[in-house]
Structure 1
Amino acid sequence: MTPREPTTSAHGISKPELIARWPLAGDADDAVGSHHGLADGLTYTAGPDGRAGLAADFDGRRSRVCVEDHADLRLGTDDFTFAAWIRCQAPMRGAFGDILSKFDPLGRCGLNLHVAGSSPAYSSMSDQRHVHFGIDDGYVGTWEDFGKPEPSNSNVTAIATWQGELYAGIADASTPEKACRVFRYGGQQRWHDCGRLCADPNVLSVQSMLVHNGRLYAGSGNWDWVKAWGQMPGFSPSKVHVYEYQGGREWRDLGQVGEGNRVMCMGSFAGDLYAGLDREAGGGKVFRHTDGDWIDCGAPDGLNVENLLPIGGVLNASTHGSIYRYGGETTWTCIGKDPHGINQIHSMAEIGGQLWIGTWPQGYVLRLERSGEWTNTGRLGIPEGLYECNEVMDLRVYNGKLYAALIPKSQVWRYEADGHWTLITSLASRPDWRPDDPDTWCRVTCLNAYGGQLCAATGSCFSRAEHQDVEDTLGRVHGFTAGQVCSHEHDIGGGWTHVVAVREGVETRLYINGRLSSVSHAPARTTFDLTNTDPLFIGYGTQTYFAGAISDVRMYAGALTAEGIRRLGGGS
């Protein structure tokens, strides 16, 4: 549904006041007041109109502008407008990062405006540039059940947002024909079948998904590693392929990838699509898709390639216990082996310019410091003293906070500070659950942003259809809201884009190039007071440093009209 433009100002403000303007034309000074910024690591480039020196280049690693807190910048409960011209890095060589933020992470209070792509489970963040505008004052909503894509499935393996729609891939089902399918969410717990990746009955899972260069891709395999390794009597796994979605129920085969039995993950880096394979038959290799062929990029250490993630211009890969940086051709350099005694790595994310990893079996979330040391930010899952089976399956930033997805109790946790994580929910359960029985374990397989919500998918440990639980909590997708978020979930590309974020009364609105893209409303009987004493950052926030260029950042007291926004962005 297309958002409707407001017809009148809720608070009767006819002429919003320009509080601050940072042109970023050679410096970080405020052009209308005294809220000058401290620039760190900026260079200057041509602005949106092509004239030299009218925009700041942010390198995605340390560049940012810090504006000291002031009463003028404290948003409180008032209406406001932020506007900026941005140009995201293209092609993607790391997370796109935050446009601006004024946010207290401990109190979960303030504003976030950032660019991020979809991030489906083991696969890296896509190269799609989605814009997310969020405010919060410590509000946590309830979880909404989006339903079950396939009734006989016990594991949603990945969820991805593409062209404003939510897609889910599944593993096993009651028959091979029902398995290995992708579904599109239609609202009100309805899911539309987008087809099976292939007709081969010995391929039972959508193993991985990724949006790359404007297209949706899926990698095949068998999530159940017993079947994937040929150890299940009567089952012979097939070699794996990657497929490109063609619409409807059609998928185009991009060919066999190496000799593996599972495409463990995919990644987008520097304009190319990468795929990581399993150990054993796959040899733990990484492949790059170039000119219709899959090019062998070598094996980091021969174990499962669990994740691929670009950070700061370098492609990173994690295997069962180690982290590697890609050096080109078939060269990989280890930057961490079994840190803090872990032996598997199942998720990676860039947070605040640093690499974070989610691990097994202790459930540690580790952060790589600039010194090369690894910091343990906390242990998640079931406590010490029980059978160790905590696996951090995904890490995702949503509205200024980092969230983690876990097995064995299908939990979602939120990071507060080192050593302090908050358990948010458990989305699946079994009455026969035991920590020493993997058949009873429950997963949150992945986290992803969609429609202003944080979405989470559930699954069983092995993904077998017969492992469905009595309460039917497995193989489902859920969503919840922290604060108030509206998002533009179409790729804005690598050119100049005008972004405007507005709060007016209980409503927030996001405009892209002068057009209203998204609207959200505060929960009933809830007022968000955004007052905090943290600095206002341009080009930096919880996700990470911005990679690209920013120009003409403006802050208004009051809500600009739709016509005013169109004029500000150069529209007629």
Structure 2
Amino acid sequence: MKYQKVLIVLLTICFTGWVSLSCHTNESGGGELNDGLIGYWKLDGDGIDYSGNNLHAELIRSRKRPDSGSTNDTEHNDAWHQVSASSNLKMDDDFSISVWIDALSPDRDVSGDIISQYDVGRRKGFHLSLTTNPSPTGVGNSRRLSFGMDNNIASEWMDCGRPGQALLAFGLAEYNGDLYASTCEPEAGGAGHVYRYDSENNTWKDCGAPDRSNTVFALTEYKGALYAATGKYRVAGSSLPESENTQIGGRIFRYEGAENWVECGQLPGVEAIMGLVVYQGELYASSLYSPGLFKYEADNTWTRCSTPDGKRIQSFGVYDGHLFATSYDLGHVYRFDGTEWVDCDQVGQNNTQTYGFSVYQGELYVSSWPSGKVYAYEDIKQWRDVGRLGEELEVMGLIVYNGQLLGGTLPMAEAYRYQGDTTWQRMDQLDTTENVKYRRAWTMTEHAGRVYCSTLPSGHIYAYKAGETVAWRKSFPEGWHHVVVSKSANKLSLYVGGELVDQKSIPTSDSYHLSSGSPFNIGFGQHDVFQGRIKELRMYNRVLTKHQIDVLGSPD
């Protein structure tokens, strides 16, 4: 009798374990995880589609990066996989995307697109991207994981108010999921402040004035903290009455929350700091009114670096392993490798100033004065004219937002959308202040599914929305991470490591049939070639359950 009971217990344990294992195998190895599978690319050294739908991907090597060095197709440094347009590849109703990504260190390039299928002319498609958006002063978005989709659905530009007594917000930056603006407030007794946007009430919360100079020029995230750079802006440079505040700036601060700022150093002989950027793991700052480049060593310790031919360098962009810099002297762009500078020549024949960078479809773009044009970098001393923005004289901030390249201008403070070749479409005039010579649409940053643009001289900030976007509220860390995007009829959701990190409701009036007939790219898109590794990419024509997301995200 005793042996019979033992045998029954053993059989029960074995049967229960077999059922549990059988169910798990059905869930993870086949069965439900194969239901609704559109495509499955292991990306283990090839582009084979293991779903059975024959959506095999071809390896494409970039022809736009002549000096990018060696190619590693598994890390997509200058190559990606492309699936030809197919009726089997449809993203019209419910869908899910599951993928593992390893984003390399952000020190030497922007991170790029993980997947993308987008038609520029129809503004239709989707992208899963890791974006870094520079601004004319700092960095607006740093390693921002987002999924965006559009079907030519857009809002008008919306007035988001004026931070404090701003003449202009020189810097806009997203940090820990919040939008911050750094201002120029030139009146006597005033000072440049940093403000945090309260979207629910459409107001700006004061985060304090780091010092008493009239401007906080730049905002940049560095090693998980927000840094700000100050200066005395010569307002007459915008054809306005000179500032009554004569306090010199040239100092760097680290944000400690509320209205608290910790000083990290005064740059010697610097009246105003124009740019902040992170390159090769180091924080750099540039001087606005005199030549100067400085590298942060520790609080109150900055090393002076060389500048190209003693020229001023202003705004920064990290691209293809190098640090690029604009200049207000002779309209040149310069390239830095951490030791030496290379002159990339004058941009256009008549330009005397270059302003801001953006990386669009794998190429570096730069804006200019007084031609009102944007140019694409092809190689040392080779710049391609990609068109003038209306009849404007100056282009400042550029940004890639949900598949679109946008730019802001002077003297009418207009916003434009790039249509390809040399064509730009006017969107709106953002600042309509009367009786002034110049109005600026200065810098653009993405936040909470919208792009925000600052203006002068009204000091107001405006927002524009295209399609729907979900994003993670932090800079994406290094190492392997599992990412899932799911869309139902009324929700768009983003998961990282099995956790829901963002979710947006989809209005019933909006139709998101995303099939565009364009090629489907793995490791490339509207932003750049992905700098990292991608594996286990699966696409479904249904919404995955939380349990299925957990199974796909298992390290096993």
Q: Is residue 2:475 matched to residue 1:456? A: no
The 2-side partners of 1:477 and 1:456 are apart by 6
Runs of 4+ in 1 over 4 A off after TM superposition: 13-16, 225-228, 231-237
Deviation at 1:276, TM superposition (A): 1.0
Quick one: which of 247, 257, 282 aligns to 2:257? 247
Equivalent residue for 1:258?
268
Equivalent residue for 1:319?
327
SS of residue matched to 2:550: helix
Aligned ranges for residues 7-406 of structure 1 at < 5 Å?
A: 16-33=35-52, 34-40=54-60, 57-60=74-77, 62-75=78-91, 77-117=92-132, 119-124=134-139, 128-150=142-164, 152-176=165-189, 178-187=190-199, 188-198=201-211, 200=212, 203-224=213-234, 226=236, 236-280=246-290, 284-292=291-299, 293-320=301-328, 321-329=331-339, 331-370=340-379, 372-382=381-391, 390-406=393-409
SS of residue matched to 1:489: strand
Equivalent residue for 1:6?
none
The 2-side partners of 1:263 and 1:450 are apart by 25
> Given residue 320 of structure 2, which amino acid in structure 1 is its aligned partner?
G
The 2-side partners of 1:379 and 1:392 are apart by 9
> Given residue 442 of structure 1, which amino acid in structure 2 is its aligned partner?
R
Q: Is residue 2:420 matched to residue 1:407? A: no
Deviation at 1:217, TM superposition (A): 0.7
> Given residue 443 of structure 2, which amino acid in structure 1 is its aligned partner?
C
- Whether contact under 8 Å (2:84, 2:519) holds in the other structure is yes
Deviation at 1:334, TM superposition (A): 0.2
- Whether contact under 8 Å (2:294, 2:302) holds in the other structure is yes
> Given residue 508 of structure 1, which amino acid in structure 2 is its aligned partner?
L
Q: Is residue 2:534 matched to residue 1:550? A: yes
Q: Quick one: structure 1 residues 455 and 263, their matched pair in 2 at CA, closer, same or farther if it must change by over 3 Å? A: same
> Given residue 297 of structure 1, which amino acid in structure 2 is its aligned partner?
C
Deviation at 1:431, TM superposition (A): 2.8
Deviation at 1:185, TM superposition (A): 1.1
The 1-side partners of 2:249 and 2:145 are apart by 37
- Whether contact under 8 Å (1:122, 1:346) holds in the other structure is no
- Whether contact under 8 Å (1:301, 1:319) holds in the other structure is no
Identity, % of aligned pairs? 27
Deviation string, structure 1 residues 193-221 (Cα, Å, up to 9, x no partner) = 111112x3xx1100111112211111100
The 2-side partners of 1:116 and 1:328 are apart by 23
> Given residue 491 of structure 1, which amino acid in structure 2 is its aligned partner?
S
- Whether contact under 8 Å (2:93, 2:512) holds in the other structure is no
Deviation at 1:314, TM superposition (A): 0.9
The 1-side partners of 2:470 and 2:194 are apart by 26
Could you state the TM-score of these two structures normalised by the residue count of structure 2? 0.86
The 2-side partners of 1:239 and 1:482 are apart by 38
Equivalent residue for 1:7?
none
- Whether contact under 8 Å (2:490, 2:508) holds in the other structure is no
Q: Quick one: structure 1 residues 258 and 418, their matched pair in 2 at CA, closer, same or farther if it must change by over 3 Å? A: farther
Equivalent residue for 2:10?
none
Q: What is the root-mean-square deviation in Å for CA atoms of aligned residues? A: 2.4
> Given residue 494 of structure 1, which amino acid in structure 2 is its aligned partner?
E
SS of residue matched to 2:324: strand
SS of residue matched to 1:195: coil
Question: Considering only CA atoms, is the larger Rg found in Structure 1 or Structure 2?
Answer: 2
Deviation at 1:428, TM superposition (A): 1.1
Deviation at 1:512, TM superposition (A): 1.2
The 2-side partners of 1:365 and 1:394 are apart by 11
Flag structure 2 segments of 5+ consecutive residues without an equivalent. 1-31, 63-71
- Whether contact under 8 Å (2:109, 2:318) holds in the other structure is yes
Q: Is residue 2:512 matched to residue 1:516? A: no
> Given residue 145 of structure 1, which amino acid in structure 2 is its aligned partner?
D
Deviation at 1:304, TM superposition (A): 3.5
Deviation at 1:162, TM superposition (A): 0.4
Deviation string, structure 1 residues 114-159 (Cα, Å, up to 9, x no partner) = 1113544432465x32111111111111223222220x32211111
- Whether contact under 8 Å (2:169, 2:182) holds in the other structure is yes
Deviation at 1:353, TM superposition (A): 2.2
The 2-side partners of 1:233 and 1:185 are apart by 26
SS of residue matched to 1:567: helix
Q: Quick one: structure 1 residues 119 and 455, their matched pair in 2 at CA, closer, same or farther if it must change by over 3 Å? A: same
Deviation string, structure 1 residues 248-291 (Cα, Å, up to 9, x no partner) = 111111111231111111111111101111233xxx22111124
> Given residue 136 of structure 1, which amino acid in structure 2 is its aligned partner?
D
SS of residue matched to 1:306: coil
Equivalent residue for 1:538?
522
Deviation at 1:328, TM superposition (A): 3.3
Flag structure 1 segments of 5+ consecutive residues without an equivalent. 1-12, 43-54, 384-389, 461-473
How many residues are aligned here? 509
The 1-side partners of 2:402 and 2:376 are apart by 20
SS of residue matched to 2:492: strand
The 2-side partners of 1:91 and 1:101 are apart by 21
> Given residue 192 of structure 1, which amino acid in structure 2 is its aligned partner?
K
